[in-house]
């Protein structure tokens, strides 16, 4: 393969529903989950939207720069990889990694390659999740899924390529660092590999498939979500903590934040799949019920699921109390998790 371009862009700064959801639960007037957020965590003047937009632009440019760095790739595979990478994701995982590093006084620029690797892994997981053998979805982010836009075989290979490309991205950057940083980068690579592998996201996906048609206990559902969705989000936060040279207390606090946000994100995903607007979300809703998935609304009901998400965000916010205003992006992202509509 050709030489990849370096990513060093400067930064300026299921249950079969044993019970159907009750009609009034599904159709009650929608309220935001932030109604339940604690008044003990006051909002700051930090503006999340411009922050997200600026970082997303940097991440998008870096991802495209890396994918297009090779001139020997098969054109069809590269097109499929690029198609899914450019499909309009939130870039939550790379932004969390960069924000965690910044909260500790670290460099967002140094965190960028890690963020790109995390986004490649996340995108690969979505491509495979949409396949006929998995969730068999036709639309993702308002566009045809990869296997619909190309072919099933091409989608599988594009996902495989993004996964391996993620670790090439990490290794390329690690090899450019001074020898004294080798330990730090090996920790990050190992952390992400575990989160993406059979002790993390893959295990969560297998549990999700195995549980279809079988009602899980609440603790089993929580563990499934922590593996399937939470593991990679936590890895993003912890990677940023490593890059920011966190001490033991700061690392524990950020790890707790990652745990809470990772789980809250999936709880809200469950809720949006039940009551979200498909036009805003860019994909069909109601599919969890259709596929007899285990979800928080199915197990607890919508009201209790919303409260669960709010409680997790409150816990995440409390975990940041030891940090100064440099962690305001993390605070704002925590609130965004329960306010989002897609």
pTM for the predicted model, two decimal places: 0.85
Tell me what the mean pLDDT of segment 320-324 comes to: 97
DSSP class of 140:
E
Determine what percent of the chain is predicted with pLDDT higher than 90: 72
Query: What number is the average pLDDT over the span 158-181?
Result: 95
Q: What is the pLDDT of residue 79?
A: 93
Share of the chain above pLDDT 70, in %: 86
In a domain, 208, yes or no: yes
Report which of residues 14 and 167 the model is more confident about: 167
**What is the pLDDT averaged over residues 308-334?**
97
pLDDT score for 11: 35
pLDDT band at 72, cuts 50/70/90? Answer: low
pLDDT at residue 126 is higher than 90: yes
Give yes or no for a contact between 299 and 216, defined as CB atoms under 8 angstroms apart: yes
213 falls in which pLDDT band (50, 70, 90)?
confident
Tokens of 261: 């946000």
Q: Could you tell me if residue 18 is inside a domain?
A: no
- Residue 268, SS3? helix
Q: What is the average pLDDT across 59-76?
A: 84
Residue range 140-162, pLDDT digits in tens: 888 899 999 899 999 999 999 99
Q: Is 22 left (phi over 0), alpha (psi -120 to 50) or beta?
A: beta
CA distances 35 to 17, 31, 190, 260, Å, are 27, 8, 39, 18
Instruction: Please name the residues in contact with 326: beta carbons below 8 A apart, sequence gap of 6 or more.
Output: 102, 103, 104, 105
Q: Residue range 107-114: average pLDDT?
A: 96
Q: List, for residues 254-305, the tens digit of each pLDDT value.
A: 999 999 999 999 999 999 999 988 888 777 888 888 888 899 999 999 999 9
| CA separation for the pair 332, 337 (Å, rounded) | 9
Residue given tokens 């990849």 in the structure block: 4
Does 334 map to a domain? yes
Ordered DSSP codes for 147-172: HHHS-HHHHHHHHHHHHHHHHHHHHH
Contact 232, 195 (CB under 8 A): yes
Cα-Cα-Cα-Cα dihedral sign, residues 57, 110, 160, 203:
negative
Domain limits for position 220: 45-339
Under 8 Å between Cβ of 295 and 274: yes
Angle of helix 92-103 relative to helix 108-129, nearest 10 degrees, comes to 150
Judged by average pLDDT, the poorest of 42-51, 256-265, 316-325 is 42-51
CATH code of the domain containing 85: 1.10.600.10
Encode pLDDT of 86-96 as tens digits. 988 889 999 99
pLDDT category at 44 given cuts 50, 70, 90 is low
Label residue 37 by pLDDT band (50, 70, 90).
low
pLDDT at residue 26 is higher than 70? no
In a domain, 7, yes or no: no
126 token code pair: 């979505």
Q: What is the mean pLDDT of the chain?
A: 87
Domain count of the chain? Answer: 1
- Whether 22 is covered by a domain: the verdict is no
């Amino acid at each position: 393969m050709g030489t990849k371009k370096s990513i060093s862009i400067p930064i300026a700064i299921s249950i079969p529903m044993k019970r159907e959801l009750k009609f009034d639960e599904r159709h009650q007037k929608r309220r935001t989950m932030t109604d339940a957020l604690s008044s003990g965590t006051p909002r700051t003047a930090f503006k999340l939207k411009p922050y997200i937009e600026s970082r997303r632009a940097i991440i998008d440019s870096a991802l495209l720069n890396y994918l297009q760095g090779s001139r020997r790739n098969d054109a069809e595979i590269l097109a499929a990889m690029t198609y899914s990478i450019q499909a309009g994701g939130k870039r939550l995982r790379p932004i969390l990694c960069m924000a965690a590093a910044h909260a500790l006084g670290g460099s967002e620029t140094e965190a960028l390659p890690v963020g790109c690797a995390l986004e490649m892994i996340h995108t690969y997981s979505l491509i495979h999740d949409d396949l006929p053998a998995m969730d068999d979805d036709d639309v993702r982010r308002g566009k045809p899924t990869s296997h619909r836009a190309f072919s099933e075989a091409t989608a599988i290979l594009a996902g495989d390529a993004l996964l391996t490309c993620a670790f090439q991205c990490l290794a390329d950057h690690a090899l450019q660092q001074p020898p004294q940083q080798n330990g730090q980068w090996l920790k990050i690579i190992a952390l992400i590999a575990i989160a993406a592998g059979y002790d993390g996201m893959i295990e969560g996906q297998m549990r999700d498939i195995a549980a279809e048609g079988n009602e899980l206990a609440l603790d089993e559902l929580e563990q499934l979500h922590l593996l399937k969705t939470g593991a990679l989000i936590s890895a993003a936060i912890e990677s940023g903590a490593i890059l920011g040279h966190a001490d033991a207390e700061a690392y524990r606090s950020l790890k707790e934040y990652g745990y809470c946000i990772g789980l809250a994100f999936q709880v809200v995903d469950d809720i949006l799949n039940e009551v979200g607007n498909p036009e805003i979300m860019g994909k069909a809703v109601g599919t969890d019920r259709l596929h007899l998935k285990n979800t928080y609304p199915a197990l607890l009901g919508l009201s209790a699921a919303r409260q669960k998400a709010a409680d997790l965000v409150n816990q995440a916010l409390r975990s940041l109390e030891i940090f100064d205003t440099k962690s305001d992006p993390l605070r704002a992202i925590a609130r965004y998790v329960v306010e989002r509509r897609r």
